[in-house]
Structure 1
């Protein structure tokens, strides 16, 4: 029996760098995330069933070179809320992309780029 036929991916949890779990937690709580787990080496946050994890680093360049995409529904409302918090990336305003999504991006408190994407209806 071919295992590739019966096995299937069911989700992904982005793992991003953090310079301070306390600062990361405070930032993401403003976005509606809650803490699922926190210890000295690992932080796990969630919102609406989506989980994002963090590892601790002392190198400021690491989070500034890291990004992830989060799929959403109701992207226009989410964009308005995050734009009011003044965290939308300067080049990340809401727009339709040629690959079939509407997207915007934010930069978190340590420089991680978080892209929010909603599938367009025709795709």
Structure 2
């Protein structure tokens, strides 16, 4: 039986990525070991892993993750208050397929789309 998934995304700079996820998105670092070229962050029950890819061209990165929430409006407000930049084409809106969502790009152009089923 499957119980969870932990996506693994590329990062160019561990310090920059860690700073973004902790300060702009409210994640926490996972574990006590500091592995060279690898990072794990977690918020609530969502965990994301990162591997070092120094030669990554952000313009050619297609990393994407959907993250479900049960309070999309509250999360959106919290991220705005933290100064997190919302993707220019991913503002908070109800989509035709019945989800309310918004998107954020991390420093390496990994696309994070936060969503909630909407009545």
Query: What is the TM-score of this pair, normalised by structure 1?
Result: 0.83
- The ranges of structure 1 where at least 4 consecutive aligned residues each deviate by more than 6 angstroms after the TM superposition are none
Aligned-residue CA RMSD (Å): 1.7
Counterpart of 1:36 in structure 2 is 30
Aligned residue pairs: how many?
114
Runs of at least 5 residues in structure 1 that lack an aligned partner in the other structure: 1-7
Output one character per residue of 1:35-80: Cα deviation in whole Å (capped at 9) or x when no partner. 1143113211001121011010012326732111111111112112
Residue 3 of structure 1 aligns with which residue? none
Maintained 8 Å contact 2:61/2:110: yes
* 1:73 aligns to 2:70 (yes or no): yes
Gaps of 5+ in 2: none
Alpha-carbon distance in 2 for matches of 1:106, 1:82: 10
Indicate the structure (1 or 2) with the bigger Cα radius of gyration.
1
The structure whose RCO (Cα within 8 Å, separation 6+) is larger is 2
